[in-house]
Chains A and B, each alone.
Chain A
Amino acid sequence: MRYKFDFGALVEHWPEFLSGALTTLQMTAFAVVFGLVIGILCAIGRRSASPFLQWLCGFYVETIRNTPYLIQIFFIFFGLSSIGIKLPIFVAAVLTLVINVGAYTAEIVRAGMDTIHPGQIEAAQALGLSQPQIYWDVILRPALERVYPALTSQFVLMMLASSITSQISAEELTAVANNIQSFTFRAFETYIVVAFLYLLLAVILKLAFYGFGQIIFPRRRRLGTAL
């Protein structure tokens, strides 16, 4: 069996590849920001004294982490539309990503918070800090610094998993590739290019997270050690 590679047929489609990659990045950016917020709130909820909040956040986290992402997408996109809630595709795709990554983020952040020694909290209480101040300065900041590598690798994984949203025709990189290969009949070449583009996006994302980490965690920047 001999196969002749022909990437030439793909060259004219570069604007579509680019736009797909940008959509993927855009979805990732939204999902990281909102997923982080939801994850933090949920982690706090699971540690709260209220049994209802504990249950609610636990239910959300466990449900999402124990069902397939594709089913979550179908549930939100087709499920909601059958009860009359029609979301634009991009919004639905981002929403599913946020809900999905929020649950994983919640568990990572909670693990980070659990590493904070109770003595730290007592010291802050003894200094007269309020509960929200303690949460921000003494629990959350070091917790995030500690789990930052796990968190960012989760975000990269999510960027890769966003290819599944092509199933509801979100115009991201994978959907674009599906289209292109159906015009050009160059499936092998198309997916080689797409794989390379995902790899490139992952590297860019990792570098960006690294740089961001250097800015927001001055201790790590100066000492280079894990907290």
Chain B
Amino acid sequence: MSAAVSLRDVHKRFGEVEVLKGVSFDVAPGEVVAVIGRSGSGKSTALRCVNRLETIQSGEIEVHGRRVDDPALDLRALRRDVGMVFQSYNLFPHLTVAENITLAPRRVRKTPQSEARHIAVEALARVGLSDKIDAYPEQLSGGQQQRVAIARSLAMQPKVMLFDEVTSALDPHLTGEVLKVMEALARGGMTMLVVTHEMAFARRVADRVIFMHTGKVWETGAGEMLAHPQTPELREFLANGL
């Protein structure tokens, strides 16, 4: 079976700084892959290259058979298939929860208003926030906002979901409620690429963990690898309490 997401020898530079130095990995359909590593290791950049929020200098990226690095790519078609959730939620503050969720279905998929509402109801039920459908983002806690952001992505029925340190701005209690939603998604068979600092989550939920260091995939394995790090860099990273 071909990979849902595949990176081959990906190089990415910001000016003089090379952030990704030949990164390669695959994510199989339905697989949950956690990417861990220090700040500046290139893990978020790698994730952002997958839906082409960043363009790469060389290498290949494929998402469900679609070449992301192809300049002629139908970018919007790619992004319909790839959902993304950000550290800072990025909900649209002037829109209600329902409008946040239905904006992309209405604009991109041309879903009629009545049907869109139904999509919002369903997506909110999946993240446990049905009662907040008509609230505005500022009326929600950080954890609730992040769950709405997840629902907003789900409403586009993506084939792959990218999570970019989605709990880093939350306190432990709110982190818990977001991770629970993500765990349920994972159990439901969603293909997920998760950049995270939550080691317990990576260990418990991820099928595979990738440790990135200085712009390279340094070590990779099942969640167990976190208990038995092979390289001194991973050992040191884990020992520093992250």
Contact = CB atoms under 8 A, between A and B. Distances in A.
23 contacts: A117-B88, A117-B90, A123-B84, A123-B92, A123-B149, A124-B92, A125-B53, A126-B84, A126-B153, A127-B79, A127-B153, A127-B156, A128-B76, A128-B79, A128-B156, A129-B76, A129-B103, A133-B107, A133-B108, A145-B94, A219-B93, A219-B95, A223-B136
Given A126-B79, A128-B80, A129-B76, 13 more contacts: A120-B92, A123-B84, A123-B86, A124-B103, A126-B84, A126-B153, A127-B152, A127-B156, A128-B104, A137-B107, A145-B94, A219-B93, A219-B95
A127 B108 contact: yes
Interface string A36-72: 0000000000000000000000000000000000000
B76 A130 contact: yes
A225 interface: yes
Contacts of A120: 90, 92
Given A126-B82, A127-B156, A119 B76 contact: no
B11 to A, nearest CB: 22
B103 A137 contact: yes
Most buried by A among B51, B90, B152: B90
A126 B92 contact: no
Contacts of B88: 117, 119
Interface string B136-149: 10110000000001
Nearest to B155: A127
Interface of A: 117, 119-120, 122-130, 133, 137-138, 141-142, 145, 217, 219, 222-223, 225, 227
B94 A141 contact: yes
A133 B92 CA distance: 13
Interface in B118-162: 136, 138-139, 149, 152-153, 156
Given A125-B53, A127-B108, A138 B79 contact: no
Contacts of A127: 79, 103-104, 108, 152-153, 156
Interface residues of B, number: 29
A149 to B, nearest CB: 15
Contacts of A119: 86, 88, 90
Contacts of B86: 119, 122-123
B96 to A, nearest CB: 8
B150 to A, nearest CB: 12
Contact of B51 (A126, A130, A137, A219): A126
A8 B104 CA distance: 64
A129 B152 CA distance: 13
Contact of B93 (A124, A125, A142): A142
B37 interface: no
A65 B73 CA distance: 44
Interface string B58-100: 0000000000000000001101101110101011111110000
Contacts of A125: 53, 79
Looking at chain B's contact residues, the main secondary structure is: mixed
B108 A128 contact: yes
A191 B90 CA distance: 53
B93 A227 contact: yes
B61 to A, nearest CB: 15
Contact of A123 (B80, B90, B96, B139): B90
Nearest to A220: B94
B6 to A, nearest CB: 20
A227 B137 CA distance: 11
B21 to A, nearest CB: 24
A168 to B, nearest CB: 41
Contacts of B53: 122, 125-126
Nearest to A138: B92
A125 B92 CA distance: 13
B155 to A, nearest CB: 9
Contacts of B95: 219
Contacts of B91: 123
A145 B138 CA distance: 15
Given A123-B86, A219-B136, A223-B136, A129 B108 contact: yes
A102 B129 CA distance: 44
